[in-house]
A and B are shown apart, each in its own frame.
Chain A
Amino acid sequence: MGTKYGGYMGRYLDIDLSTGKVTDYEVSDEDKELYLGSKGLGARILYDNLRKGVDPLGPENVLIVNTGPLVGSGAPCTSRFNISTKSPLTGAILSSNCGGNFGIHLKRAGVDGILVRGKADKPTRIHISEEKVEFLDASDLWGMDTEETQEKLPARAGKIVIGPAGENGVLFANIISQERAAGRGGAGAVMGSKNLKAITASGKKKVSVVRQAEFEKDVKKWISILKAHPTTSETLPAYGTGIFVNRCNATNTLPTHNFKRGSFEEADAVSGEALADTMLEKNFGCVSCVIKCGRRVKVEGKEVKGPEYETLGLLGPNLENPDLERICEWNYIADLMGMDTVSLGNTLGFAMELNERGLWESGLSFGKTDGIAEAIENIARREGIGDELALGVRHLSEKYGGREFAMHSKGMEFPSYEPRGAVGHGLGYAISNRGGCHLGGGYFIYFEATGPITMDPHTTRSKPEFVAMFQTLLDAVSSAGNCQFTSFALIPKQALELKPYGAIYRTISKVMEGAGPILKLVLKQPGIMPFTLPGELIPHPKNISDLTGMRMTMGNLLAAGLRGYLIERMFNVREGFSSRDDSLPERVTREGQGGNPKWVVPLDKMLPRYYDVRGLDERGIPKPQTLSRLGVKV
């Protein structure tokens, strides 16, 4: 209980739904220094509280909902919470990060995080306030969609809820807060398995700041950087994340026809530009957000949340569907039902290809939009073919065949980037601890195809090192409590104005190809960076320092990210995962994109180098010296 550091409320609660018992859970200041909070600390706590082989949908699984120190501090884009649990979709560790309003309200209730164990004997809502934790009957909410459920809950409280998909054990059911989703890996099904319909939190506590005047100056500067940067102040607010549709299409990284191709002739019809021109009512952001990338569109006359890039790509081109209105409608239904649209789009696409090849008569066909809305509801209710679709791509491939074009890694379906057009990004899918994921995999496509400065998308030179570095940075940013979109401003505005088609960018790109050894050195010895960088580059360490009072250098920030990855990895190792699970389907490793045999993801070439830079052995297991060097106790 308590903490010497600012930014934290100093309290974690251990809540047992089976017994109704609530106790304080001790999180030491040392663990805060090592893992910061949110994703990294969530993984540490999960590792310490689960034993091997627990059924993800059984009462023994633990659902952790926690925050990072920056959440609720006034720093920009910090209305975040993290879910850590054992995923029912993959059997691996799951971390799912979300905006919405729950994180801030949880801290206002004086709590950094909660562990939820056991199973309630009837549908339940947990309410957390400064004074107590209440278990409230939620029988009247059971069966309701996520929108209606939230409407029935106290207006001023922070909320997380599940929809029918979570109640019915859909393996990719999500958790919703306002209109944001902790989307991936089936955390909604874990809540449902515990008879937990919702968690609410409220209070009036404030986050303490150690160096108030300095922190306020940091925040002001950070906001001004985000507001002046063309990516976070112009493109994202105007077009949302859907701006990537046309860019991915142009670079052959837009999944089309269940990832068979990387471009779609009618991509522009489902792009961020098309959304802005035809359906956008307004943009919105989470509390404390200065970027406001969210879309609001009209579906059947009602203003609702619009689709993100992932949804546009996977319910559009991946299904050979150019109908933007249908995508908005399906996105809304999926949100109401509480399910992840990334896994949904993949599962529908895979079922369509099975149907096309005569392997499973699913009745679903590429380019055919009729029946999709009903299929989404059937998945949520586990009715008809929805009962099988609810189990995701891996299950379908094991039952009906087609493993070579089952687009998942460790059971988690791929996000909306075709990896043969960005091979480092493909490596990220394979080695992400939660399974096929761009965020857990370092999101390297930004430096291969979609960002202003790119390396050759097909070379493997320095890619394993860069992927490990960006994974580490993004993990650290998440652990601090920030939205990862603040990272888009890491390339300073001034650098963007150096003409991205000119000699300077060409030179930087070549230098990046040779940067592997330096990156490896930094990742092995992050302590060689005992300083903070100017705010224009990476403002996070200084902000964390002034908020918490910790000595947060670039090296310490990276070390926190490294530890988070290692403890996640050790969780998976304990569950029996190894290098054979760091895999990709043959479609991307053997089937050359566009008929070019060279355009595959050369995973075999990159994986050993990645293990080396991460300090893992040839089985993908962290070496004892790697763990001890970073102080990761297992």
Chain B
Amino acid sequence: MAVVKYYASLRNVVGKKEEQIEVASLSELLQRLSQMYEGRLARHLKTTTVLVNGKNVIHLKGRRTPLGKDDIVSLFPPLGGG
């Protein structure tokens, strides 16, 4: 099961910091999240940055990035700071 971690406003949307979800790829995870949170996440997912084990998925296989046991998926809204 992949560990999905939520940050910033996404925590308020889903009401938790993290959860474990059984999926095989990022594409499947995004679909599952949309179903689980009934559209509440949809607006946010359009702008969400996704890291898998600390790497931005655009440097992996994008939506086709495989997810397996103990993979950590971090979901962030657009950030600014410093």
Contacts and interface: CB of A to CB of B under 8 A. Distances in A.
Contact of A230 (B5, B56, B78): B78
B58 A499 contact: no
A35 to B, nearest CB: 25
Contact of B9 (A235, A497, A505): A235
Contacts of A443: 82
Contacts of A242: 81
8 nearest CB pairs, A to B = A488-B80, A241-B81, A231-B80, A244-B81, A501-B50, A506-B58, A250-B74, A496-B47
Contact of B54 (A250, A273, A453): A250
Interface string A439-472: 1000100100111111010000000000000000
Binding site of A, secondary structure by majority: helix, strand, loop or mixed? Answer: helix
B8 A239 contact: yes
Given A247-B76, A272-B8, A273-B11, A501 B82 contact: no
Contacts of B67: none
A238 interface: yes
Most chain B beta-carbon contacts within 10 A, residue among A239, A415, A449, A501: A501
Instruction: Categorize the interface residue count of chain A.
Output: 35 or more
Given A496-B47, A501-B48, A236 B81 contact: yes
Interface of A: 230-232, 234-236, 238-244, 246-247, 250-252, 263, 268, 272-273, 293, 309-310, 415, 438-439, 443, 446, 449-454, 456, 485, 488, 491, 496-503, 505-506, 509
Contact of B78 (A251, A415, A496, A505): A496
A247 B57 CA distance: 14
A441 to B, nearest CB: 12
A80 to B, nearest CB: 16
Given A497-B46, A499-B46, A509-B59, A235 B51 contact: no
B47 A452 contact: yes
Nearest to A230: B78
A453 B50 CA distance: 11
B9 A452 contact: no
Contacts of A235: 8-9, 77-81
B78 A450 contact: no
Contact of B17 (A231, A268, A505): A268
Contacts of B59: 454, 456, 509
B68 interface: no
A221 to B, nearest CB: 20
A500 B47 contact: yes
A231 B78 contact: yes
B78 A452 contact: yes
B37 interface: no
Contacts of B49: 452, 500-501
Contacts of A268: 17
B16 interface: no
B54 to A, nearest CB: 5
A509 B58 contact: yes
Contacts of A505: 58
B26 interface: yes
Contacts of B78: 230-231, 235, 451-452, 491, 496
